[in-house]
Amino acid sequence: MGDALLTVSNLETYYGPIMAIRGVSFEVPRGRIVTILGANGAGKTTVLKTVSGVMDPQKGTVTFDGREIQGMDPDRVARLGLSHVPEGREIFPLLTVAENLGMGAYMRADADGVARDLEMVYGYFPVLRSRARQRAGQLSGGEQQMLAISRALMARPKMMLLDEPSLGLAPKLVNEIFEIIVRINREQHVTVLLVEQNANLALHMADYGYVLEVGRIVMEDTCARLRDKDDIKEFYLGMKEESVRGTRRWKRKKTWR
Amino acid sequence: MTGRFTVHGQATVPTLFRHVVAQRGDAIAMREKDLGIWRAVTWRQYGERARRAGLGLVALGLRPRDVVAIIADNCPEWLYTDLGTLSVGGVTNGIYTTDAPRQVEYIVNDSGTRFFFAGNEEQLDKILEVRARCPSLVKIVIYDTDGLHGFKDEQVMTFEELLDLGARYDAEHPDAWERMVEIAQPEDLAILVYTSGTTGPPKGAMLSHRNILFQLGFATFVAEPRPGDQQLSFLPLSHIAERSFTVFYPLRTGATVNFAESIDTVPDNLREVAPAVFFAVPRIWEKFYSAAALRMREATQLGSLAYRWALGVGMRMAEGRIAGRRPTPGLRLLYRVADFAVLDNLKRSMGLHRVRGAATGAAPIAPDLIKWYMALGIDLREVYGQTENCGLATAMPPDRIKLGTVGLARPDTDVRLSPHGEILLKGPHVFLGYYKNAERTAQTIVDGWLHTGDVGRMDGDGFVTITDRMKDIIITAGGKNITPSEIENQLKFSPFISDAVVIGDQRKFLSCLIMIDHETVAQFAQERNVPFTNFASLCRAREVQDLIWGEIERVNRQFARVETIKKFRLIEQLLTAEDEELTPTMKLKRTFVNRKYKDVIDSMYVEAS
pLDDT digits (tens, 9 = 90+) for B4-47: 789 999 999 999 999 999 999 999 999 999 888 999 999 999 99
Q: By the CB < 8 Å criterion, does B122 face chain A?
A: yes
Cross-strand partners of B65 = none
Phi, psi (rounded to 5 degrees) for A185:
-60, -45
CB contact under 8 A, B534 and A218: yes
Q: Which of B128, B526, B576 sits opposite A23 (nearest CB)?
A: B526
CB contact under 8 A, A249 and B532: no
CB contact under 8 A, A218 and B537: no
Mean pLDDT of B127-139: 96
Give every CB contact of residue B278 below 8 A, 6+ residues apart in sequence.
Answer: B231, B232, B270, B352, B355, B357, B358, B359
CB contact under 8 A, A250 and B128: no
Classify residue B191 as exposed, middle or buried by CB count within 10 Å of its CB (0-12, 13-18, 19+): buried
Chain A residues with beta carbon closer than 8 angstroms to that of B125: 243-245, 248, 250
Classify residue B549 as exposed, middle or buried by CB count within 10 Å of its CB (0-12, 13-18, 19+): middle
Phi, psi (rounded to 5 degrees) for A20:
-90, -40
Q: What angle do CA A22, A192, A174 make, to 5 degrees?
A: 100
- DSSP assignment of B308-361 equals HHHHHHHHHHHHHHHHTPPPPHHHHHHHHHHIIIIIHHHHHHHT-TT-SEEEE-
Mean pLDDT of B256-263: 93
Complex prediction ipTM:
0.73
Q: Which of B120, B146, B574 sits opposite A256 (nearest CB)?
A: B574
Per the CB < 8 A criterion, the answer to whether B375 and B311 are in contact is: yes
| Residues B74-122: tens digit of each pLDDT | 999 999 999 999 999 999 999 999 888 988 999 999 999 999 999 999 9
Cα dihedral B193, B197, B201, B205 sign: negative
Sheet holding A59-64, edge to edge: A18-29, A4-15, A59-64, A67-68
Distance from the first to the final alpha carbon of chain B? 67
Q: Which of B25, B94, B119, B76 is nearest to B258 (CA)?
A: B76
Chain A residues with beta carbon closer than 8 angstroms to that of B533: 25-26, 210, 217, 220
Higher-scoring residue by pLDDT: B575, B161: B161
CB contact under 8 A, B531 and A9: yes
Residue B486 has what pLDDT?
Answer: 84
User: If you count them, how many residues does chain B have?
Assistant: 609
Please determine, for residue B606, whether its predicted confidence score (pLDDT) is greater than 90: no
Cα dihedral A154, A157, A161, A162 sign: positive
Mean pLDDT for all residues in chain B: 92
Chain A residues with beta carbon closer than 8 angstroms to that of B576: 253, 255
Higher-scoring residue by pLDDT: B223, B141: B141
Mean pLDDT of A185-211: 93
Residue B519 has what pLDDT?
Answer: 85
Q: Determine what percent of chain A is predicted with pLDDT higher than 70.
A: 93
Looking at the complex, report in whole angstroms how far the Cα of residue A153 sits from the nearest Cα belonging to chain B.
Answer: 30
Mean pLDDT of B561-590: 83
Q: Determine what percent of chain A is predicted with pLDDT higher than 90.
A: 68
Residue B609 has what pLDDT?
Answer: 52
Residue B49 has what pLDDT?
Answer: 98
Distance CA A62, CA A68 (A): 6
Interface with chain A: mutation pick from B534, B543, B576, highest number of A CBs within 10 Å: B534
Mean pLDDT of B490-506: 90
Please determine, for residue B577, whether its predicted confidence score (pLDDT) is greater than 80: no
DSSP β-ladder status, B115-118 and B67-71: parallel
Size of interface A-B (CB pairs under 8 A): 62
Q: Which of B89, B157, B147 is nearest to B118 (CA)?
A: B157
Looking at the complex, report in whole angstroms how far the Cα of residue A95 sits from the nearest Cα belonging to chain B.
Answer: 42
Residue B469 has what pLDDT?
Answer: 84
Q: What is the largest CA-CA distance in chain A?
A: 66
Residue B273 has what pLDDT?
Answer: 96
Looking at the complex, report in whole angstroms how far the Cα of residue B56 sits from the nearest Cα belonging to chain A.
Answer: 26
Number of DSSP helices (H) and strands (E) in chain B, helices first: 23, 27
Q: Which of B125, B147, B522 sits opposite A23 (nearest CB)?
A: B522
Q: Determine what percent of chain B is predicted with pLDDT higher than 90.
A: 73
CB contact under 8 A, B529 and A9: yes
Looking at the complex, report in whole angstroms how far the Cα of residue A163 sits from the nearest Cα belonging to chain B.
Answer: 21
How would residue A242 be classed by pLDDT, with cut points 50, 70 and 90? low
Of B389-393, B462-466, B585-589, minimum mean pLDDT range: B585-589
Look at residue B455 and give its three-state secondary structure. Answer: strand
CB contact under 8 A, A25 and B120: no
CB contact under 8 A, B522 and A59: no
Q: What is the b/e burial string over B423-445, where b = at least 16 CB atoms within 10 angstroms of the residue's CB? A: bbbbbbbbbbbbbebeeebeebb
Looking at the complex, report in whole angstroms how far the Cα of residue B202 sits from the nearest Cα belonging to chain A.
Answer: 24
Q: Determine what percent of chain B is predicted with pLDDT higher than 70.
A: 98
Chain B residues with beta carbon closer than 8 angstroms to that of A247: 147
- Alpha helices in chain A, H assignment, sequence order: 44-52, 74-79, 97-104, 111-124, 126-130, 141-153, 171-188, 199-205, 223-226, 230-235
Q: By the CB < 8 Å criterion, does B530 face chain A?
A: yes
Look at residue B233 and give its three-state secondary structure. Answer: strand
Distance CA A2, CA B321 (A): 61
- DSSP assignment of B368-403 equals HHHHHHHHHT--EEEEE--GGGTT-SEE--SSS--T
For residue B528, the chain A residue with the least C-alpha distance is A10
Distance CA A168, CA A88 (A): 9
Distance of CA B338 to the CA centre of its chain: 32
DSSP B151: -
Q: Which of A23, A217, A249 sits opposite B121 (nearest CB)?
A: A249
Residue A1 has what pLDDT?
Answer: 47
DSSP B246: I
Extended beta strands in B144-229, E state? 156-158, 189-195, 203-208
CB contact under 8 A, A253 and B576: yes
Please determine, for residue A2, whether its predicted confidence score (pLDDT) is greater than 70: no
How would residue B489 be classed by pLDDT, with cut points 50, 70 and 90? confident
Please determine, for residue B1, whether its predicted confidence score (pLDDT) is greater than 60: no
